């Protein structure tokens, strides 16, 4: 399994760079992954989405869909696309240390 060095930490990742062990995730790692995704700084809105997605992932074993995120009241679809430009669910899931989303919607 490939590994990736972030600062002093080593994380296990899959072929697409998604973390495979959520217990290795820290807020510093999230910030570093965000930079790779072109997000210079994670704001309160980003953290809210990240925390919600991690909670959902732990409960259901899957990354929530855009529709589910919108319905949760955490953030609107429009804002989600604004703060994670160029692919909201994929980017947010990667920053949150979750698996690559597998759904089509």
Partner 1 sequence: MEDKIKKVSIIISKGTLDGVYAGLIMANGARMEGIEANLFFAFFGLDAIIKKRMGKIKVATVGNPGMHMASLLGVLPGMSAMATSMMLKTMDKLDIPPVPEFIEMVVDAGCKLYACKVSVDMFKVKKEDFCPQVDSIITVGDFYEKAAGGEIIFI
* Closest distance of CB 7 from partner 1, Å: 27
77 binds partner 1 (CB under 8 A): yes
Q: Which long-range contacts (CB under 8 A, 24 or more apart) does 31-34 make?
A: 32/6, 32/7, 33/6, 33/94, 33/95, 33/97, 34/95
Rounded-to-integer distance, Cα 87 and Cα 41, Å: 17
Contact 63, 19 (CB under 8 A): no
Contact set for partner 1, span 1-40 (CB under 8 A) = none
Measured from the CB atom, the residue of 7 and 85 that comes closer to partner 1 is 85
100 binds partner 1 (CB under 8 A): no
90 binds partner 1 (CB under 8 A): yes
Asked about 104 being catalytic, the answer comes back as yes
86 binds partner 1 (CB under 8 A): yes
| Binding residues for partner 1 (CB under 8 A) | 65-68, 70, 76-78, 81, 85-90, 103-105
Q: Which residues are marked as active site? A: 104
């Amino acid at each position: 399994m490939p590994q990736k060095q972030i600062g002093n930490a080593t994380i296990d990742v899959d072929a697409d760079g998604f973390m495979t062990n959520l217990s290795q995730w820290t807020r510093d790692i999230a910030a570093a992954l965000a930079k790779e995704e072109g997000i210079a700084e994670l704001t309160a809105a980003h953290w809210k989405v990240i925390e919600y997605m991690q909670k959902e992932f732990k409960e259901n074993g899957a990354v929530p869909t855009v529709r589910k995120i919108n319905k949760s009241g955490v953030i609107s679809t429009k804002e989600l696309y604004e703060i994670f430009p160029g692919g909201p669910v994929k980017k947010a899931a990667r920053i949150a240390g979750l698996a690559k989303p597998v759904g089509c919607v």
